[in-house]
Amino acid sequence: MFDVDLLIIGWGKAGKTLAAGYRGRVALVEQFRTLHGGTCINIACVPTKTLIHAADTGIPFPEARTRRDTLIDALNDANHQMIASHGTATILDGRARFIGPHTVEVSAGEETVQVTAERIVINTGSVPRIPDIEGIEEIPTLADYATHTTNSAVFHDSTSIQHVDPLPERLLIVGAGPIGLEFASMFAGFGSHVVLLNSRSGLFGQLDEGIGAEVEESLAARGVTVREGRLARVEKQGGGARATLQDGSELLIDAVLFATGRVPATEGLGLEAAGIRVDERGAIEVDAHLRTSVEGVWAAGDVHGGPQFTYLSYDDHRIIAPQLDGGAAPHGTDERVAVPTTTFLTPPLSTVGLTRSEAEEAGHSVTVLSKKVADIAAMPRPKTLGQTDGRITFIVDSATHEILGAQLWCVDSQELINLVALAMRAGVKAEELRDGIWTHPSSTEAFNELLQGL
């Protein structure tokens, strides 16, 4: 048993940033050595975007996997050194379990150690949700990933599919949310025939100006077939599988990716022993300052059930950090506005704020400004890159010209959306974007033309 000033369970964005900046004795617990640095840099944001870029630039999948692994190894080591060089930080590789409000047992094989801390941050993130469907078996775990024994599996989650070998000729993706869409676009780019199973009607049905239908057309041209329906059962057959949908139709595929969302990683943490409350989804209950039901214990990142974005985990660290020394949080999660999102299709689709229907329901009289990217003469950059798919849509208050929301499906949208979000937070009116002086040729120039309709 040993005592520290701050115990952090889980090496995510918030956890590692808090650990690196805290002046005191810190213990940082991570279950897998391959997740040093957190989910984002090891198995999620960075590696998947590396693979997407490789697919878009014609790099074969085996070479893309190697490039991915080389980059991730370097980032993993850099994060490890960041904590190792802290001076008073201890890294514990093992599984954490509460045995009291401020006591945690960490187990690695047959070895255990008890850690007590006045301040604890739970930052265990989320894990893939696998649906209860007949025939699902043998989906590789993170432990399998850590030992690189995921290659030949037929059933996959978003982690193991990144090392599938060989590249599946026929891939079924169950779930058409952001994860499913990104992997569908990626594997189609690598040459797989992809069937994307969507349990809802249409893609991005909540977005304006028919963007969902246009995205589906773009995916079809890339080699993705979108089917509406649900998976009833699946069974291995030869080196692949036979999937049966609820309408009775069957698909023969080489691999299945279950991209059916992620759930907070709280199972096995022993939260009940600490008196830490969770909701019906298993997410840790927190207030706006991320305090749990136990004094001196906070939760950061996906584990508290909020939107699952690394940049919000980073903002969680800003909320928690001053509280660790008895200070006041600079803001709360309830004060966040204009939080942007990006789904990394080709080109990427980014959104912020309200849709037209949401704005009207909120009482606004709205002006919708929308154009296909190919029709925006003042935006030559997509043409220079040969990526003219896409549409840009702004939702503007008709009376005040306040920007209420935007949907940018275009080259560089992951950057443009940050500018739009900043404008919304700062109260910058739409005509200031319209009349802005932007570099040329750039994607930002689209605002000059699109917003002329005010």
Instruction: Give the residue numbers marked as catalytic.
Output: 440
- Stated length of the chain: 454
Q: Assign 393 to helix, strand or coil.
A: strand
Nearest to 351, CA basis, from 412, 420, 397, 301? 420
From CA 335, how far away is CA 315, in angstroms rounded?
11
Identify the sign of the CA torsion 271, 277, 281, 283: negative
Is the separation of the CB atoms in 447 and 433 below 8 Å? yes
From CA 269, how far away is CA 288, in angstroms rounded?
22
The radius of gyration of the chain from alpha carbons, rounded to an integer in Å, stands at: 23
Nearest to 407, CA basis, from 169, 203, 171? 203
The single-letter code of the amino acid at 214 is E
Please state whether beta strands 349-353 and 341-343 pair in parallel, antiparallel, or not at all (unpaired): antiparallel
Give the distance between the most distant pair of CA atoms in the chain: 68
From CA 74, how far away is CA 41, in angstroms rounded?
10
From CA 39, how far away is CA 31, in angstroms rounded?
12
Nearest to 361, CA basis, from 405, 414, 311, 420? 405
To which H or E segment does residue 36 belong? Answer: none
Contacts of 303 (CB under 8 A, 6+ apart): 10, 122, 123, 124, 125, 126, 264, 265, 266, 283, 284
Q: What is the DSSP string of 314-340?
A: HHHHHHHGGGGGT---S--GGG-----
Cα end-to-end distance, the chain, whole Å: 66
From CA 284, how far away is CA 304, in angstroms rounded?
5
Tokens of residue 214, six digits: 């246009």
CA angle, residues 432, 434, 438, in degrees to nearest 5: 90
Q: What is the DSSP string of 276-298?
A: --B-TTSPBP--TT-B-SSTTEE
- Give CA torsion, residues 117, 32, 190, 252, to 10 deg: -110
CA angle, residues 93, 43, 276, in degrees to nearest 5: 55
